């Protein structure tokens, strides 16, 4: 019942389907009941409605999986500190699903993972239990397409890709997916659906890495990268704008391509472009810190002892989410180089760094209290006029107006 599971449950319930939301964390379920969760406006309204109606139930009792006609697996698929897939949550969820599976159920895997996940974690174990996929139970992959905080592309307006193990599996899963999305684009297998999601996010990763590289090139040539991107965007074909930034965070781009690279390493299949893009993305926070150090140096100051305010720490504007946020690594790197670092984010009260340090957001920031401000995430509908009081600013968003020194 996280950033995918909760909106999915709300979308189904809004279409008249009874929903049982299962999560192993009772604190998460309590936060949902208290409506203390990060949702876009329409989903927040759906939650308020669902909590007051029947047919929307929350539980930690995984044995109740057996009650469902259809089960959607919506668990995180992160990477570990070595950028290798952490399959623990997904493996655990699938193990429990198989344990309580019964004839007649439809199982849909929505979590992003390696090619063959559906076959390995669901089809094989269900078969070993004596259930025939395609007649006793129905299994499909339909990777989520949810962009947290984005009200322009909601789940209800975004088509989904769907691949079943058999045509009957696809038909059964489509009954669920089409209650959530305007259409289900059917493909020939779960593997095609799995690869589609990896391709979507790898495409974004490669283009973001390219946008960051062009921003660095523009800086060397004293050009405004955003002006260049805006100009290129006037071409009505063959170009899609991607924008530079301080790095990539969240649940998809920093993780998903590594599932593909991990799998390809086993088959010794080369993917040099993807690998280089992911290396560049991983290095971006360090590049930002080097830019801050350069700005300080240009103004006669060293990093050691300088007071630096990181403005915004969520991984994208408008969300209360710091998963894989570049801001956390940037803060750690600045601190290691001797800077005295604070942060301001009206949506994030406190953050925990990798070394266990806990920082709290500055409540009422004043630009004059700091030697430099690093603009990382500018939250919508908040006043940032005070930033211009800072003696030095570095804009890693490339969108702050009027623009200070670009990153």
* Cross-strand bridge partners of residue 406: 395
Exposure of 305 by Cβ count < 10 A (0-12 exposed, 13-18 middle, 19+ buried)?
exposed
Nearest-angstrom CA–CA distance, 123 and 127: 6
Nearest-angstrom CA–CA distance, 22 and 20: 6
- Structure letter (DSSP) for residue 137: B
Residue with tokens 């623009």: 403
Nearest-angstrom CA–CA distance, 170 and 172: 6
The H or E element containing residue 307 is strand 307-311
Greatest CA span in the chain, whole angstroms? 73
Residues catalogued as catalytic: 252
* Cross-strand bridge partners of residue 164: 140
Residue 17 CB neighbour total at 10 angstroms = 16
Nearest-angstrom CA–CA distance, 74 and 77: 9
Residue environment code for 34-63, b if the CB has 16+ CB neighbours within 10 A, otherwise e? eeebbbbebbeebbeebeeeeebebeeebe
**Of 360, 362, 398, 368, the residue nearest 385 (C-alpha):** 368
CA distances from 55 to 3, 36, 58, 187, 335 (A): 20, 21, 10, 32, 50
CA distances from 229 to 243, 287, 403, 404 (A): 8, 21, 16, 18
- The phi, psi pair for 106, rounded to 5°, reads -115, 130
């Amino acid at each position: 019942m996280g950033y995918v599971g909760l909106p999915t449950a709300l979308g189904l319930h809004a279409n008249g389907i009874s929903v049982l939301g299962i999560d192993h964390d009772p604190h998460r379920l309590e936060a949902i009941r208290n409506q203390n969760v990060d949702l876009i406006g329409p989903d927040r309204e759906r939650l308020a409605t669902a909590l007051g109606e029947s047919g929307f139930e929350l539980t930690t009792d995984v044995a109740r999986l057996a009650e469902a006609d259809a089960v959607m697996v919506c668990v995180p698929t992160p990477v570990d500190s070595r950028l290798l897939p952490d399959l623990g949550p997904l493996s655990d969820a699938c193990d429990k699903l198989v344990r309580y599976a019964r004839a007649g159920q439809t199982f849909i895997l929505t979590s992003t993972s390696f090619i063959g996940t559906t076959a390995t974690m669901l089809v094989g174990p269900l078969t070993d239990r004596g259930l025939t996929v395609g007649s006793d139970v129905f299994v499909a992959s339909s990777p989520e397409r949810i962009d947290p905080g984005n009200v322009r592309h909601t789940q209800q307006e975004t088509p989904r890709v769907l691949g079943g193990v058999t045509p009957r599996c696809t038909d059964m899963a489509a009954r669920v997916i089409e209650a959530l999305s305007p259409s289900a684009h059917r493909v020939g297998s779960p593997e095609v659906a799995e690869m589609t999601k990896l391709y979507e996010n790898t495409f974004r990763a490669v283009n973001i890495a390219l946008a960051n590289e062009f921003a660095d090139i523009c800086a060397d040539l004293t050009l405004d990268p955003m002006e260049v991107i805006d100009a290129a965007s006037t071409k009505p074909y063959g170009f899609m704008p991607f924008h530079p930034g301080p790095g990539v965070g969240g649940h998809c781009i920093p993780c998903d391509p590594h599932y593909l690279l991990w799998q390809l390493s086993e088959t010794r299949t080369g993917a040099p472009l993807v690998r280089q893009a992911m290396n560049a993305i991983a290095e971006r926070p360090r590049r930002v810190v080097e830019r801050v150090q350069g700005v300080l140096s240009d103004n006669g100051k060293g990093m050691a002892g300088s007071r630096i305010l990181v403005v915004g720490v969520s991984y994208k504007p408008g969300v209360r989410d710091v998963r894989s946020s570049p801001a956390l690594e940037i803060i750690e790197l600045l601190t290691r180089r001797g800077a005295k670092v604070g942060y301001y984010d009206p949506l994030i009260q406190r953050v925990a760094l990798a070394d266990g340090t806990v920082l709290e957001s500055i409540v009422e920031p004043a630009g004059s209290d700091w030697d430099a401000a690093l603009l990382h995430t500018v939250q919508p509908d908040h006043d940032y006029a005070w930033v211009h009081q800072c003696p030095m600013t570095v804009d890693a968003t490339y969108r702050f107006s009027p623009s200070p020194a670009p990153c």
